[in-house]
Amino acid sequence: MNLKSVEPSSSTLQLVASDMSDIMDNLDTHTNAPGTCHHFALCFSTCCVTEGLPFKEIYNTVGFKETEAKVYLSSPITVKILEVERFTSSMPAVYKIEMKHGEFTWLVKRKEKHFIDLHRELRTYKTFMKIPLPRSHTVKRNIPLRSEVSQIPELPRGGDGELDRGVSSRRKQLEDYLNTVLAMPMYRNYHATMEFIDVSQMSFIHDLGPKGLEGMVLKRSGGHRIPGMNCCGRSRMCYRWSKRWLVVKDSFLLYMKMDSGAISFVMLFDKEFGIKMDSKDTDTKHGVRVDSLSRSLVLKCNSYRHARWWGQSIEGFVQKYGSAFLKDHRFGSFARVEVNIPAKWYVNGKTYMEDVANALEEAKEEIFITDWWLSPEIFLKRPVVEGNRWRLDCILKRKAQQGVRIFVMLYKEVELALGINSGYSKRTLLRLHPNIKVMRHPDHVSSAVYLWAHHEKIIVIDQSVAFVGGIDLAYGRWDDREHRLTDVGSVTLSHLEQVTSSIYNGKGVFTVADSMDQPRLKSHGRLRRTRMSIRRHLQKHGLAHPDSDTSDPVQNEPAGVGELHGNTRFWHGKDYCNFVHKDWIQLDKPFDDFIDRHKTPRMPWHDIASVVHGKAARDVARHFIQRWNFTKLVKPKYRSLSYPYLLPKSHTTAGEQRYQVPNCIPTKVQILRSASDWSAGIKYHEESIHNAYVHVIKNSQHFIYIENQFFISCADNKYVFNQIGDAIAERIIRAEGKKYRVYVVTPLLPGFEGDINTGGGSAIQAVMHFNYRTMNRGDHSIISQLKREMGDNWINYISIAGLRTHTDLEGKLVTELIYVHSKMLIADDNTVIIGSANINDRSMLGKRDSEVAVIVEDSEMVDSVMDGEPYKAGKYALQLRLECFKTILGTYTDPTIDVSDPISDHFYKEVWMSTSARNASIYQRVFRCLPSSDVRNIMELEGYLAKAGLDREDPARAQEELKKIRGFLVQFPLQFLSEQNLLPPIGSKEAMVPMEVWT
């Protein structure tokens, strides 16, 4: 965009004007008959669509001079010169031009010189294309009165009324000229024309929002706010200037290489956004500096006025269309509160993974996935009755083959400390299809990040549907409300087996897979034909409706057992796990068991997740995009064009929901996160999850219900810094004398490999130390704080519990704790926080692990009860709490258990406290299980375990006792190893790592 001052001579203008007129009438003589221009415009108007180019085109950009570049829509481009600016009489006029194309409107400013330059380019282009350009004298000879039309009035230099009439006439001439040129495909598609009207392949993509500003700039290298990346680039000797095409959209800017069309940088606008144009700020003449949390980008223009125009235009456009991104939102979040967002919760992995599978199947453009751990071979719908159709890697391959771009970010673990083998996951996914791209981060040596992890669990579909929660797409996570301990592996038929027994070899049993077999149904086609024949057989006997089957192999139905009953093989190979008993090994052999499922029960997995849509999903996608682009920047192996920069869709199109997860509830949603320089490349860290937890707890009126994998809090500002535990204690103290309850459900043991019968090992004990330090040990603990204020009355306000279950395994009674992996808070049946963040410093402080969560506030109220009184509860929060309470208290097996009133004395004492105490007591009598408050130190362990439980002494009586169990809730053993120093012993490897690893 060249705005240098040039005053063309009168003779030059006459010649150019003559040629302009020739172009208007004769340039299209080889392609259009006389009058065709009108028909062409009419065709445009009748075929006009409001939609822009499809979003997928961002991945198909080519060099700006390439003829296959997709730039325009089917509708015409119209031009109107709004005004003419002249700053002084000696300076050339600047024409302010409004352009319209479909749903897009934008402004450009051009001088007379730019029209002359464009026309010269078009003449050269026409000559090059061997299309004869008529000379002006020929036109005059053939067309009478052409001399009048081609005459261009001289530009008077005075300031009288003639000037106004002259400028007005000239404006109309240039307007007509440009409209005519843009009506001709040959010249409209020429790169010089596109540069003149500031358009590119990014201009008219509907999902990128308003067209924004575009043009050629020089950009300076460096300016990134990334540790270790700015050792060079701070002095003029290190600067490197490059010519780029700049595109400014409503929430980001990008620049492209014109020769290849490749996007070579993306900057997301945020609360640090600012424009500076002084030379002391830009360190260059005619410079513009654009600031964000991730970079200070310096652009160089060719004049002072040009720089002012760019700076003011960028700032004005972003303030007009993207102001929501420039504010520090509630809780310090990068995302604002969005209203009327369809949202849904999930308790346990079964329904979550089913909805994820169905949503993945609906993807049309992009899939974003980031997990702490991802296992490519897990099945998202179980039991496995459709071969590999709903296996994660098969779904992703299928979608990639359909043209969907899939981007996966995995945490790159310290291999000596963790055995999740992200390298295997990456290699497996990359082999599936070129449309699948996988990054791992961080590189521990180059980034000097050894202690912290990417802990988020996100799946985003087309930037319109976003799953956020605690459930990785990994082994061991799939579970349902039954929390089975065993899975020995067959499917038995119900009342239909007489009809279909012959099809199933007369045995009435259809075996999905044996314990050591890979559940890969190689004869998938034969299986499908068999299923169809079964369907026809059932129809023949009147047991299935003739229209109940469909030819479409994709069925987005819940993958329940259906007609199949009995002990179904739900967990194949490595998916059958008990990580306290034995950690995962040989993950490259996914379908080989590593635990004897005939002797060892699996460890059930209790977890929570959510899905949001629309603008909230856009915000989740924006976070993913920020992390992806940052990783691409800092890891040289990802700088190739095969790993593209990602672009956020505009919030203006977020309401155009093509797919929505069924059974959602309209809510108010805000996306929260823990992010910092190492994890997202931002200048200031964000701890909005921590802030939201503290705020919700402090402002709760009736109760809070917490499920979390860890419970490490109560700040001493030495080892622990998050304030969640202190907020709980403070809120309870404030409530003394009034009804207020706090429920905390957390794992009975930390999730580390170790034999608790011998103490569990240093890692388990280290986490136990900080958990107990939060609960009841030491002056900083919640219960200690409460005792100082209210004595033993604390027990009427807070309950801490775990989950446990039991079953019969090969004729032997077995028990196991249920691993609570949730990261959830419910307050007052109207506010919910669900995410990946544990209650510990790692997750909450922002500078450590990266996390994402959603806070959901109800906007749809329903009738409920609170302390015996009518209460308007939020539909989302209430239904979630009821599902959790019904599951863990046993309402689904004993409907007499009433969980509707969360704070009444009857519920708190006679249901919650009574059930947890009774269940814990029965389990201790029957199994002598650990952890137990009867064991205060390691010396007492041997004596405790030496005494046999009823499971060995009297199995029949044990069975009778276990019938009294309701649900899974058990009291937390607050006195377990209370006399033992649980910190890692000096000399152990656990003692050698920094203390913040455990907090």
HSE-CB at 669 with a 13 A cutoff on CA atoms is: 29
* pLDDT of amino acid 350: 95
DSSP per residue over 700-759, as a string? -SSEEEEEES-B-----SSS----HHHHHHHHHHHTTTS--EEEEE--SS-SS---GGGT
For 850-903, the pLDDT digits (tens) are: 999 999 999 999 999 999 999 999 999 999 999 999 999 999 999 999 999 999
- Number of Cβ within 10 Å of residue 174's Cβ equals 21
* pLDDT of amino acid 244: 93
Can 472 be counted among the known catalytic residues? no
pLDDT band for 986, please (50, 70, 90 cuts): confident
* pLDDT of amino acid 583: 75
Lowest mean pLDDT among 295-304, 576-585, 791-800: 576-585
For 168-192, the pLDDT digits (tens) are: 777 888 888 888 888 888 888 889 9
Residue 841 has pLDDT above 90, yes or no: yes
CA dist., res. 554 & res. 354, Å (int): 13
- 494 within 8 A of 615, measured Cβ to Cβ: no
Residue 393 has pLDDT above 90, yes or no: yes
DSSP single-letter state for residue 909 = I
pLDDT band for 415, please (50, 70, 90 cuts): low
pLDDT band for 425, please (50, 70, 90 cuts): very high
Q: Where are the domains of the chain?
A: 10-196, 212-327
pLDDT, average across residues 386-394: 90
3-state secondary structure of 105: strand
What is the chain's length?
A: 999
Can 455 be counted among the known catalytic residues? yes
In angstroms, the Cα distances linking 809 to 200, 415, 555, 600, 602 are 66, 34, 34, 8, 11
pLDDT, average across residues 659-682: 95
Between 790 and 224, residue with greater pLDDT:
790
pLDDT band for 544, please (50, 70, 90 cuts): very low
3-state secondary structure of 873: strand
Most confident of 13-27, 316-330, 753-767: 316-330
Q: Residues with Cβ < 8 Å from 114, sequence gap 6 or more?
A: 2, 196
CA dist., res. 769 & res. 840, Å (int): 13
* pLDDT of amino acid 105: 92
Residue in 454, 821, 875, 886 annotated catalytic: 821
Residue 135 has pLDDT above 60, yes or no: no
* pLDDT of amino acid 223: 85
Can 364 be counted among the known catalytic residues? no
For 597-624, the pLDDT digits (tens) are: 888 999 999 999 999 999 999 999 999 9
* pLDDT of amino acid 496: 39
CA dist., res. 602 & res. 236, Å (int): 62
For the chain, the average pLDDT equals 82
Can 823 be counted among the known catalytic residues? yes
Rounded percentage of the chain residues whose pLDDT exceeds 90: 56
Residue 953 has pLDDT above 60, yes or no: yes
For 204-249, the pLDDT digits (tens) are: 999 999 999 999 999 998 888 766 555 444 455 567 899 999 999 9
Residue 383, preceding peptide bond in cis (omega within 30° of 0): yes
Residue in 206, 249, 457, 886 annotated catalytic: 457
Can 537 be counted among the known catalytic residues? no
10-196 — its CATH code? 3.30.1520.10
Residue in 119, 329, 455, 886 annotated catalytic: 455
- 426-435: long-range pairs with CB below 8 Å, 24+: 428/376, 428/377, 428/393, 429/374, 429/376, 429/393, 429/396, 432/393, 432/396, 432/397, 432/400, 433/396, 433/397, 433/400, 433/401, 433/406, 434/400, 434/642, 435/400, 435/401, 435/403, 435/404, 435/405, 435/406
- 145 within 8 A of 151, measured Cβ to Cβ: no
Can 964 be counted among the known catalytic residues? no
HSE-CB at 195 with a 13 A cutoff on CA atoms is: 19
Residue in 119, 823, 875, 886 annotated catalytic: 823
Residue in 393, 575, 828, 867 annotated catalytic: 828
What type of residue sits at position 278? D
- 838 within 8 A of 710, measured Cβ to Cβ: yes
212-327 — its CATH code? 2.30.29.30
* pLDDT of amino acid 385: 79
Between 488 and 785, residue with greater pLDDT:
785
* pLDDT of amino acid 238: 66
For 491-505, the pLDDT digits (tens) are: 343 443 333 333 333
Most confident of 115-124, 350-359, 498-507, 578-587: 350-359
Residue in 270, 291, 355, 462 annotated catalytic: 462
DSSP single-letter state for residue 525 = H
